Amino acid sequence: MTVRTILRFPDAGLRTRCDPVETFDESLRVLSNDLLDTMRAAPGVGITAAHIGVFKRIFVLELSREDGVRVYVNPEILDTSLETIRHTEGSVSMPGMVDEVTRPSAIRIRYQDLDGGWHENDAEGFLAVCIQHEIDQLDGIFWLLRLSKLKRDRLVKKWDKANG
């Protein structure tokens, strides 16, 4: 288990669509554990393989230690609610920068586990927001793109100023 280097905004890797995971073996488990260690060190509540420059469709969430770790391989959103929720989002690739994003408040997701087994689950509230955020990243959609141009430009300017 290793803490990996996280790509920083505006790295082109953060705009890269990830490829499906096809091999479910020990190397996938190692990647999953490295993602967890890297996310905890960041700190964050979610991280994709793309955040560390591995362009495979896998992400890890740990909303709280009590909830435990959730690993999603080859996730896809099957359905979304019409009702929306606004939540403050940020990224381990852009630490310290946050803003409010509006997303569907509930989703239905299909994904595989580390053994390749398929699952379908419903998620709502904060969990739904986090899953959508990470799937966006797997699709090469950095969270800033969910902001208005004005908010995005303001945040990028603030980031550039803070990171010289």
Separation of alpha carbons 123 and 88, rounded Å: 18
Per CATH, is 12-162 categorized as 3.90.45.10? Answer: yes
Q: Would residue 157 be called left, alpha or beta, if left means φ above 0 and alpha means ψ between -120 and 50 degrees?
A: alpha
Cα–Cα distance measured from residue 98 to residue 159, given in angstroms and rounded to the nearest whole number: 10
Are 15 and 140 spatial neighbours (Cβ–Cβ below 8 Å)?
Answer: yes
Is 124 assigned a catalytic role?
A: no
Q: Indicate the pTM of the whole model.
A: 0.96
Model pLDDT, residue 92 = 96
DSSP state of 91: -
- Looking at residue 65, its pLDDT comes to 86
pLDDT digits (tens, 9 = 90+) for 148-163: 999 999 999 999 999 9
Catalytic residue from among 66, 120, 124, 134: 134
pLDDT in tens, 55-86: 999 999 999 989 899 999 999 999 999 999 99
Q: Note the helical H segments in the chain.
A: 26-41, 125-138, 149-162
4 neighbors 52 (Cβ within 8 angstroms): yes
- 85-100 confidence digits (pLDDT tens): 999 999 999 999 999 9
Residue 107's pLDDT band, with cuts at 50, 70 and 90, is very high
